[in-house]
Amino acid sequence: MTRDDFMALDAADTLRELRDEFVLPESVIYLLGNSLGPLPRRAIERVARTVETEWGLLLSESWNASGWWDLPATTGDRIAPLIGAGPGEVLVCDSTSVAIFKVVSAALRLRPGRRVIVSDAGNFPTDHYVVEGVADAFGYEVRDVAEPLRDDVGAVLLSHVDYRTGAMRDMAAVTDQAHAVGALMIWDLCHSAGAVPVDVTAADFAVGCTYKYLNGGPGAPAYLYLNPRHEDAVNVISGWHGHAAPFDFEPGYRPAEGVRRFASGTPPVLSYGALNAALDVWEKADLNALRAKSLALTEQFMDLVDPALKIVTPRDPAARGSQVSIRHPNGYPVVRALVDRGVIGDFRAPDIMRFGFAPLYIRHVDVFDAATLLNEVLEKESWRDERYAGRRLTVT
């Protein structure tokens, strides 16, 4: 296929108009939406309105008039369809790390007498760090998912899509395995929601961030899902925002009903403004078309890059998310060289180059151009330039 062939695919793309919803520099191919999504154009006006009108003019009246108080719940209801959940089952609050602490602690309290938490040693570090912290604080054992599940396991926490490789687990099958031994299943959706179909209804809890594929902005609040069958689960961070009657200022804590009890502190209103602007875009997207395009983009990239490269992302469409990861002993300087040529990917130690394909704004021709530039950097060994040797906090 020629570059013109890829441009023809873009002309026929039913999602093509959504690209205009984002601020994307002309000279950049942004393949890092799996780390930080680009700015939705409508977020600029939404945040300005939140600052200038809701805060600037209405002041404290905005807790009522502008719906600030209910943002965790109303925003959660907008995210719910993206993960297969229903109204009143998702709450947007805190960070992913805090959300993981909350749901792991809650799950363990629902399984008294079971002293084991199962996780994945290769999971995103914050997941494993939080699990280790819970285990140390409350006297639990952490066991790796590679070991057989036994009836002493209280909770299982796994990522739906692996952040390094892009490999995707069979959510339904794994959930069934956890339930078969009486454990509760918690899913991390950070690298799947907004990129692949998700159905959390069989799971017990789920968490996810909103600043990657959902484009909520840097530091945007995370979300958590509570299966209605666990509506009496205990939130160990029992802050005032999760109280049944917060403005009664009672001396003792009474949890709100359902997922609202997992709120703790006052919501970061400005961040909700940007996130809700992004969700306006998501309500225009066909999720089936999104997944079909995601698979096409990743397949095309894998076909176009040098066949000598070691692609670690599964070729099986049912087993991959929306990124392509490649092992290379000099992956860091290669990615740095690509950044200088306008292709923004990233690197994960020790040797993985990651390229995310967010179907809302990535075009087929972007895949062609990015693969061409990657092959050129490798063929000409441009990455050997001494400018690319020194490490930075990020490669971009």
CATH number at residue 12: 3.90.1150.10
**Residue 26: φ, ψ to 5°:** -60, -35
Strand runs labelled E in 47-138: 90-92, 116-119
185, part of any domain: yes
Can 310 be counted among the known catalytic residues? no
Shared domain check, 307 and 226: no
| Catalytic option among 211, 225, 262, 388 | 211
Shared domain check, 325 and 213: no
Shared domain check, 371 and 273: no
Shared domain check, 309 and 197: no
Burial 200-232 (b: 16+ CB within 10 A, else e): bebbbbbbbbbbbbbbbbeebbbbbbbbeebee
| Catalytic option among 94, 120, 162, 188 | 188
Shared domain check, 189 and 299: no
Shared domain check, 275 and 215: yes
| Catalytic option among 260, 293, 320, 354 | 354
347, part of any domain: yes
36, part of any domain: no
Instruction: Convert the pLDDT of each residue in 54-100 to its tens digit.
Output: 999 999 999 999 999 999 999 999 999 999 999 999 999 999 999 99
The number of helix segments (H) and strand segments (E) in the chain equals: 11, 13
Can 354 be counted among the known catalytic residues? yes
| Catalytic option among 169, 212, 260, 293 | 212
Shared domain check, 117 and 202: yes
Instruction: Convert the pLDDT of each residue in 132-178 to its tens digit.
Output: 999 999 999 999 999 999 999 999 999 999 999 999 999 999 999 99
CATH number at residue 153: 3.40.640.10
Shared domain check, 203 and 160: yes
Give the total number of structural domains in the chain.
2
Are 47 and 274 a contacting pair, CB within 8 Å?
A: yes
Shared domain check, 172 and 120: yes
Shared domain check, 142 and 50: yes
**Residue 277: φ, ψ to 5°:** -65, -40
**N-to-C CA span, the chain:** 30
C-alpha to C-alpha distance for 287 and 342, rounded to whole angstroms = 29
| Catalytic option among 22, 101, 124, 225 | 124
Q: Which one of 282, 306, 325 terminates a domain?
A: 282
C-alpha to C-alpha distance for 21 and 33, rounded to whole angstroms = 14
Shared domain check, 243 and 219: yes
pLDDT in tens, the chain (396 residues): 999 999 999 999 999 999 999 999 999 999 999 999 999 999 999 999 999 999 999 999 999 999 999 999 999 999 999 999 999 999 999 999 999 999 999 999 999 999 999 999 999 999 999 999 999 999 999 999 999 999 999 999 999 999 999 999 999 999 999 999 999 999 999 999 999 999 999 999 999 999 999 999 999 999 999 999 999 999 999 999 999 999 999 999 999 999 999 999 999 999 999 999 999 999 999 999 999 999 999 999 999 999 999 999 999 999 999 999 999 999 999 999 999 999 999 999 999 999 999 999 999 999 999 999 999 999 999 999 999 988 776 654
User: Which two tokens mark 23?
Assistant: 């601020």
Shared domain check, 381 and 272: no
Can 327 be counted among the known catalytic residues? no
Are 116 and 152 a contacting pair, CB within 8 Å?
A: yes
Can 6 be counted among the known catalytic residues? no
37, part of any domain: no
C-alpha to C-alpha distance for 221 and 66, rounded to whole angstroms = 19
User: Which two tokens mark 297?
Assistant: 């983009």
Give the domain range for residue 230.
Answer: 45-282
The label of the residue with tokens 């907008």 reads: 78
Can 315 be counted among the known catalytic residues? no
C-alpha to C-alpha distance for 212 and 193, rounded to whole angstroms = 9
C-alpha to C-alpha distance for 391 and 374, rounded to whole angstroms = 20
Q: Which one of 223, 255, 282 terminates a domain?
A: 282
Are 89 and 261 a contacting pair, CB within 8 Å?
A: no
Partnered with residue 25 across adjacent β-strands are none
